[in-house]
């Protein structure tokens, strides 16, 4: 392993000083290209993580995305988009078949039924 690390260090120095791979044997060229590619990929991933962290920290409440209409905060852009398309300013469209409770999302209705109406069928209305 130290042999590889030593060779990669040599390749890095060689690349930085000559900016070419022409003086390296074919196997070392391949190793150098793979190593440099991996280094660039890791740098890009780190930059992306830093950008996401900065965006997340912009909102002091911990929400990276806010609805312009109502001010609700979300950690993910997709959740904000769902909110603006299906929830914000709209009446709840899912009604509990066992009581007067209404929700804007079907999953929340199913959870309500499981929690508040045990023993009742979650997926169908009462007969």
Residue 82 belongs to domain with CATH number: 3.30.160
* 82 and 96 within one domain: no
* 96 and 72 within one domain: no
Q: What is the pLDDT of residues 2-50, one digit of tens each?
A: 555 555 555 555 555 445 667 778 888 888 889 999 999 999 999 888 8
* 119 and 96 within one domain: yes
Geometric angle at alpha carbon 18, from 13 and 23, rounded to 5°: 90
* 61 and 84 within one domain: yes
Assess if residue 21 is contained within a domain.
no
* 80 and 60 within one domain: yes
* 96 and 121 within one domain: yes
CB distance 11 to 35 below 8 Å: yes
* 86 and 103 within one domain: no
Contacts of 83 (CB under 8 A, 6+ apart): 67, 72, 74
Domain that holds residue 109: 91-127
Task: Extract the tokens encoding 16.
Answer: 């930085």
Taking every pair of Cα atoms in the chain, the longest distance, rounded to a whole number of angstroms, is 82
Looking at the 3D structure of the chain, how many domains does it have?
A: 2
* 75 and 105 within one domain: no
pTM above 0.75, yes or no: no
* 80 and 111 within one domain: no
Assess if residue 50 is contained within a domain.
no
Assess if residue 113 is contained within a domain.
yes
CB distance 116 to 105 below 8 Å: no
Assess if residue 29 is contained within a domain.
no
Hunting for tokens 């300013």 — which residue is that?
A: 89
Burial class (CB in 10 A: 0-12, 13-18, 19+), 48: exposed
Q: What is the pLDDT of residues 66-125, one digit of tens each?
A: 899 998 999 899 999 999 998 999 999 999 999 999 999 999 999 999 999 998 888 765
Which stretches of the chain are assigned E, i.e. beta strand?
65-66, 73-74, 94-95, 102-103
Burial class (CB in 10 A: 0-12, 13-18, 19+), 80: buried
Assess if residue 18 is contained within a domain.
no
């Amino acid at each position: 392993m130290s042999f590889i690390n030593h060779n990669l260090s040599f390749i890095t120095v060689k690349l930085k000083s000559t900016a070419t791979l022409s003086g390296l044997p074919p196997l070392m060229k391949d190793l150098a290209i793979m190593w440099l590619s991996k280094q660039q990929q890791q740098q890009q991933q780190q930059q992306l993580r830093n950008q996401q962290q900065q965006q997340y920290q912009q909102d002091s409440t911990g929400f990276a995305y806010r609805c312009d209409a109502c001010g609700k905060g979300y950690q993910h852009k997709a959740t904000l988009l769902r909110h603006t398309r299906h929830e914000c300013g709209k009446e709840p469209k899912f009604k509990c078949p066992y009581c007067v409770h209404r929700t804007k999302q079907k999953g929340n209705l199913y959870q309500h039924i499981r929690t508040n109406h045990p023993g009742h069928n979650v997926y169908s209305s009462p007969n």
